[in-house]
Amino acid sequence: MLELKAEAARLLSDATGKPVSPESLGPAPKPEMGFFASRVAFELGGNPAEKAKEVAGKIKSPLFTAKAIGPYVNFFPSEDYSKQLVEKILSEKNNYGKGKQAESVMVEYSEPNTHKAFHIGHLRNTALGIALSNILEHAGHKVIRVNYINDLGLHVAKTLWALQKFHAGEEPPENKGKWLGEIYAEASKKLRENPEGDKEVRELLQKMDSGDAEAIKLMNETREWSLDEFKKIYEELGADFDKWYYESDIKGETKEIVKELIGKGVAKVDDGAVIVDNSPAGVNLLQRSDGTTLYSTSDLALAKHKFGDYDPDRSVYVVGSEQKFHFQMLFETLKKWGFRQGEKCFHLAYELVVLKSGKMKSREGEVILYEDFSKEAKERALKEVQEKNPDLEDKEGVARAVGIGAIKYSMLKVSNTKTIVFDWEKSLSFEGETAPYIQYANVRCHSILDKAGKKGKPGVVGAPELVYELSRFDEVVAEAAKEYSPHVLALYAYSLADAFSGFYTKQQVIGSKDEAALLALVGAASVVLENTLRLLGIEAPRRM
């Protein structure tokens, strides 16, 4: 579609004598009215409908036909366009729709805290990070995937306090990471009931901060329990990282950074505290009057490491929307500190995943753990697969792909600016706007091709809705990458699957007079469906 729009914009500019950009070409109301339309006639003076006819008559191209529809100039693909499109898709395969951007982009995502459970709130972050990284890469960027782990702080001290006080000598269960999360919830509850325990927690935190050998040994041992759990989850979700950063590795540098910023005049001492005045936006507090640094200071240390290690052109932080002010202050401070990336940092803020009862609270144990959510999804998927295809080989493998795809798509199809109200039935439904529906469209493609026993040959075909959706892939990827919006691609995936399902219902392929051309079209649809699912981080099984 990008190629078509570029050519149409050039021809419109020649026909009108006015500059016309490809971005100004909007979609036609439906494929039967063309692929896209221009309102340039409104800018030419006189009667727009007459001007549209005049402009359309001047445009000649082997790619499309221009027609005036009211005051708009609409562009219809030529009869040969579908053949050219299918040829392009089948020859380029995984590279179809790939862009030519040349920047390096760092995507920091997932970032669970050790000593806490990985829940479906973390799932939304991780699903967004996986999809965004894949989309940016397909747009042509070099992507660096990083994960920042908070393995220090009060939450760790609380967990270790409860572990020592209430579970000393116990043999940990097989899933030690999940057990730690349960102990953290237990610690929070007991501390609310008996606040006198806070003193013991603070004493343990002080030991950790001062490097007490016994406290550090326990902290490191239990940290590995959490990390082992995270890595198993990442393997299932398909999350891969070029670099893991840990707060414990950089926390010690924060005070030196504060001194450096004071020395450069970026920060100043204000009533004993150290701040960066980012007026009128606000003030960035780096160090309290008691000499302790904050999370904001650790993020400066992290940025120094990230940009020093990789020197990306841009950096995207996938973090919840409650941190908007924090990142506004961080980016302003980075610019004043002298990092060129400060101008091209972006906070991909996302809203919460909530239960029907309200916000999830890990300190109270009121969460849906990823482990439980994933297990339920796979069990439901297996039941569905068994009912649909009892003779299918590797039912469990297919169920895993379908179940994990379902929960990831439920996180991706909603704009990151909107809250997800979690509901088991809606999230795991195998009907409607879901991953299984999209996956099944691809299964139907392979069923047709397998039954035919041949690939077909590109030719002129009808199916305007399907051809239209196939042509949009490059444009959708470019938009999703530019706007950091994976949901744009997720919605496209459903539109493409729906267009194929409509084609499948209406059109006989095998045995038709245009069998060869239609088989090639089906093959092209499968390529684009699989590319789309792959970028979203969702598997595309060939049998369901």
pLDDT score of 542:
93
Residues 311-326: tens digit of each pLDDT: 999 999 999 999 999 9
Angle at 486 between CA 485 and CA 490, to 5 degrees: 130
Give the predicted TM-score (pTM) of the model: 0.90
- Beta-sheet strands, E only, within 211-266: 243-246
C-alpha separations of 184 from 156, 179, 216 in Å: 8, 9, 18
Question: Do residues 20 and 7 make contact, with C-beta atoms less than 8 angstroms apart?
Answer: no
Based on its alpha-carbon atoms, the radius of gyration of the chain, rounded to whole angstroms, reads: 28
* Cα–Cα distance for residue pair 35/27, rounded to 1 Å: 6
pLDDT score of 361:
57
3-state SS of the chain: helix, strand, coil percent to 5? 60, 15, 25
Nearest to 486 by CA among 110, 135, 111: 135
* Total residues found in the chain within this entry: 544
Type of residue at 436: P
pLDDT score of 136:
98
Question: Do residues 485 and 412 make contact, with C-beta atoms less than 8 angstroms apart?
Answer: no
* Cα–Cα distance for residue pair 40/47, rounded to 1 Å: 12
pLDDT score of 540:
96
* Cα–Cα distance for residue pair 191/216, rounded to 1 Å: 22
Question: What three-state secondary structure class fits 77?
Answer: strand
Place of tokens 């299984």: 436
Q: Which stretches of the chain score pLDDT less than 70?
A: 355-366, 424, 427-428
* Cα–Cα distance for residue pair 413/438, rounded to 1 Å: 12
pLDDT score of 359:
58
pLDDT score of 365:
57
Question: What three-state secondary structure class fits 438?
Answer: helix
Question: Do residues 443 and 437 make contact, with C-beta atoms less than 8 angstroms apart?
Answer: no
* Cα–Cα distance for residue pair 192/96, rounded to 1 Å: 57
Rounded to the nearest 5°, which phi and psi values hold at 143? -110, 130
Domains (ranges, CATH) in the chain? 2-78 (3.30.1360.70), 109-364 (3.40.50.620), 370-536 (1.10.730.10)
Residue 508: Cβ-neighbour burial (10 angstroms; 0-12, 13-18, 19+): exposed
* Cα–Cα distance for residue pair 506/463, rounded to 1 Å: 10
pLDDT score of 402:
94
Question: Do residues 292 and 273 make contact, with C-beta atoms less than 8 angstroms apart?
Answer: no
DSSP state letters, 493-517: HHHHHHHHHHHHHH---TTSTTHHH
pLDDT score of 131:
98
pLDDT score of 424:
67
* Cα–Cα distance for residue pair 369/362, rounded to 1 Å: 10
Residues 113-159: tens digit of each pLDDT: 999 989 888 999 999 999 999 999 999 999 999 999 999 889 999 99
* Cα–Cα distance for residue pair 410/395, rounded to 1 Å: 22
